[in-house]
Amino acid sequence: MGSESHQNQDEKEPDRKGGNIDHPANKKMSGARFIAETFKGYGVTHVFFVEAILRGALVEMENLGIRRILTHSEKAAAYMADGYARVSHRPGICMAQSVGAANLAAGLQDPYLGRSPVIAVTGRKDPISRYRNAYQEILHHPMFDPVTKYNVYVDAAEQLPFLLRQAFREATSGVPGPVHLDVLGHVGQTTDKFEIDSEVIIEEPYTHYPACRPEPEFERLEKVVRTLEEAKRPVIVSGGGAIASLAGPDIVRLAEALSIPVATSLNGKGTIRDDHPLSVGVVGSYSRWSANKVVSEADLVLFIGTNTGDMVTNNWTLPKKGTLVIQIDINPSELGRNYPIRVGLMGDAKVTVCKLVEFLDTKHKKIEWARHTQEIVKKWQDGMEPFRNSDAVPIRPERLCKEITEVLPPSTILVADTGYSSVWTCSMVDFIRSSQTYIRAAGTLGWAFPASLGAKCAAPDRPVFCFTGDGGFWYHLSELETALRYGINTITVVNNNYCLSQCSAGVSKAYGDRPGNRGDLFRFRGANFAKVAQELGCLGIRIENPKGIAPALETALRADLPVVLDVVTDENCKPRWEPAY
């Protein structure tokens, strides 16, 4: 098991340099300048917004080299900021004026559920306008409360310096998450004009996440080492917290030290390469049954940075009752939340796993168990082969995923929408090359395309693929124009089955034997997205035969434009993630 060749997650820490600005202490400056310098100092390279908000600050940002990405909706701006944050490991900034606040708040649901550090800024009318039926304004605070870690008003010039710093601190520390700053002036104009009598202070740890890497307690660590060594059939379940901590390569070292199979949550995909002999796939509700079976047979499950929610545990049926559980999490109140644990380690995933590797005795390898889990994975793969190699027309999504697997270059970022788009990609697209990254919707349909544009802004030199259904793509189709305007050249693969395929079974069940037009509830007229893309000036390729997939992917990789690959697929293909345990 060559550890180097099978490590997937990028080992590189994010660039820690904030763009500190030479600024004479105690020189007064405008709120606009102060915000722009703070963003620059914290390493922000892009902001995503809908006009009109903080125009003064946006003008200053141009001077400082921050790109201003004007989007077609506030939700798309939030999703772009989310994709940017997940890839850059820095907060993503999105902004909207007062009347756009509700739309922006709606866009924070996904980063909140996905634990992503998005900083949302909205304008709000000055106090003199309140309680008098002011145009276009409702209370913002209650809308942002359920989707943020930190939700505050900036009421005065004196508050701006410390609340801006606190925004970065809250977004990046502990479990990352969205924050909201509601600034004065419905388009932030009062804030732009603040006179700030304070220097710009950049706190380097909070320019990125993880901002802090706490270490676990030693006695508990020893207990975990003993429990892992004694277990006969242990499994690691690695989640988004492991990815946030860049712990992938260390988790692979831990797995190899004792031959422990590794399953991942959807957010944890990429912890280990899919061709690693210890990789059993994505576990839970959207999953491979191979991973579910392995976890169901385990006598010990080590959860690393996963929320143990209903998705990763298939409605809390995995691991089975009575299985020993150990948990590592940066948030101590997650330890034991859903499963009684033998021991919990509060700590950063990377640091904690490195400590475990240091203390483990490798003579306790679980060779037989690892071999058994490989047989389970092989059985799953064999069962998928006919679908992966199918020449059927309309195209089967499994075949599409196979072709994508073969073409995806090293360092690719794959951005998946929710529903079947998550299931197809997590189970059928294998990461078999180095440093491939997977980010996915935390559940909100339509997230992936704008998020992929944000991801590309964060990593312009890496190939970025978006995988979405047509239902998901319709949401933010207009952002194709944004992509073209700024040269954000991503490749969007539309699994186009002219319907909300995931919903068809549920609709049929609701109808039962009753007559009626079921299609009204889940079917679209159908569109040629390649033509739409071409009309907007992007590259669009329509693919109706499986033989056309590979050449189209190659053309897309060479293109110097945003690309849409419109793949006509069979709506009757349903992913099989049913648990086999």
User: Which positions lie near ligand TPP, rule CB under 6 A?
Assistant: 418-421, 443-445, 469-472, 495, 497, 499-503
Instruction: Verify cis geometry, omega within 30 degrees of 0, for the bond prior to 249.
Output: no
- Is residue 151 within 8 A of residue 141, CB to CB? The reply is yes
In the complex, what is the shortest distance from the CB of residue 444 to ligand TPP, in angstroms, rounded to a whole number? 5
In the complex, what is the shortest distance from the CB of residue 422 to ligand TPP, in angstroms, rounded to a whole number? 9
Nearer Cβ to ligand TPP, position 173 or 496? 496
In the complex, what is the shortest distance from the CB of residue 497 to ligand TPP, in angstroms, rounded to a whole number? 5
Q: What does the chain come to in residues?
A: 581
Nearer Cβ to ligand TPP, position 98 or 444? 444
Q: Which residues contact 127 (CB under 8 A, 6 or more apart)?
A: none
Give me the phi and psi of 233, to 5 degrees please.
Answer: -135, 65
Nearer Cβ to ligand TPP, position 54 or 400? 400
In the complex, what is the shortest distance from the CB of residue 472 to ligand TPP, in angstroms, rounded to a whole number? 4
Alpha-carbon gap, residue 6 to 178, rounded angstroms: 33
In the complex, what is the shortest distance from the CB of residue 473 to ligand TPP, in angstroms, rounded to a whole number? 7
What Rg, from alpha-carbon coordinates, does the chain have?
A: 24
Using alpha carbons only, give the angle 415, 421, 427 rounded to the nearest 5 degrees: 90
Nearer Cβ to ligand TPP, position 172 or 287? 287
Nearer Cβ to ligand TPP, position 231 or 567? 567
Alpha-carbon gap, residue 422 to 103, rounded angstroms: 24
| 88 to 102, 104, 415, 473, 492: CA distances (angstroms) | 26, 21, 14, 24, 20
Nearer Cβ to ligand TPP, position 445 or 466? 445
Nearer Cβ to ligand TPP, position 348 or 470? 470
Burial letters for 406-421: b for 16+ Cβ neighbours within 10 Å, e otherwise? Answer: ebbeeebbbbbbbbbb
Using alpha carbons only, give the angle 49, 487, 540 rounded to the nearest 5 degrees: 110
Q: Which residue is nearest to ligand TPP (CB)?
A: 469
In the complex, what is the shortest distance from the CB of residue 397 to ligand TPP, in angstroms, rounded to a whole number? 7
- Do β-strands 539-543 and 464-469 pair in parallel, antiparallel, or remain unpaired? unpaired
In the complex, what is the shortest distance from the CB of residue 392 to ligand TPP, in angstroms, rounded to a whole number? 16
In the complex, what is the shortest distance from the CB of residue 442 to ligand TPP, in angstroms, rounded to a whole number? 10
Using alpha carbons only, give the angle 56, 59, 64 rounded to the nearest 5 degrees: 125
Nearer Cβ to ligand TPP, position 370 or 445? 445
Alpha-carbon gap, residue 38 to 23, rounded angstroms: 11
Distance of CA 400 to the CA centre of its chain: 22
CA atoms within 13 A on the CB side of 572: 3
- Do β-strands 300-304 and 234-238 pair in parallel, antiparallel, or remain unpaired? parallel
In the complex, what is the shortest distance from the CB of residue 479 to ligand TPP, in angstroms, rounded to a whole number? 16
Which letter does DSSP use for residue 523 in this model?
Answer: B
Distance of CA 310 to the CA centre of its chain: 18
Nearer Cβ to ligand TPP, position 295 or 493? 493
Nearer Cβ to ligand TPP, position 351 or 384? 384
In the complex, what is the shortest distance from the CB of residue 568 to ligand TPP, in angstroms, rounded to a whole number? 12
Among 408, 391, 398, 396, which Cα is nearest to 275's?
408
Residue reference for tokens 């009684």: 340
